[in-house]
Amino acid sequence: MGIQLKAGLRLRSATDACEVVVVKAPAEPVDLRCGGHAFLPTDAEAAPQNIEAGFDGGTQLGKRYADDDLGLELLCTKPGEGAISVGETVLPVKGAKPLPASD
């Protein structure tokens, strides 16, 4: 089960303070989670969930999390303790693009 993402969509974690904005979204729905639980719309009311083991890596403010194979990129607007994942796969922080050589 996944949610249909679109650029500009804001989501919040069900486990902690983490909030993200979708920068780039794939065409198909995605099983996007934080702390092992599905992300929620920012205005949704839900009882706080516990972070699942293995999904406790945390998120960092201002960092981008991406899966290039899926065509997914998220920007963290509020940090939290839970890790962002697609299903069981934790998303890594997107690395900076290397600058071209100046020689």
Give a yes or no: residue 1 inside a domain.
no
Q: In the chain, what percentage of residues exceed pLDDT 90?
A: 82
Looking at residue 3, the DSSP 8-state letter turns out to be: B
Give a yes or no: residue 30 inside a domain.
yes
Give a yes or no: residue 60 inside a domain.
yes
Give a yes or no: residue 45 inside a domain.
yes
Q: Are 18 and 70 in contact (CB under 8 A)?
A: no
Number of domains in the chain: 1
Q: Which domain holds residue 64?
A: 10-90
Give a yes or no: residue 31 inside a domain.
yes
Q: Are 20 and 73 in contact (CB under 8 A)?
A: no
Give a yes or no: residue 73 inside a domain.
yes
pLDDT band at residue 16, thresholds of 50, 70 and 90? very high
Q: Are 17 and 78 in contact (CB under 8 A)?
A: yes
Give a yes or no: residue 101 inside a domain.
no
pLDDT single digits (tens) 39-85: 999 988 888 899 999 999 999 999 999 999 999 999 999 999 999 99
Give a yes or no: residue 2 inside a domain.
no
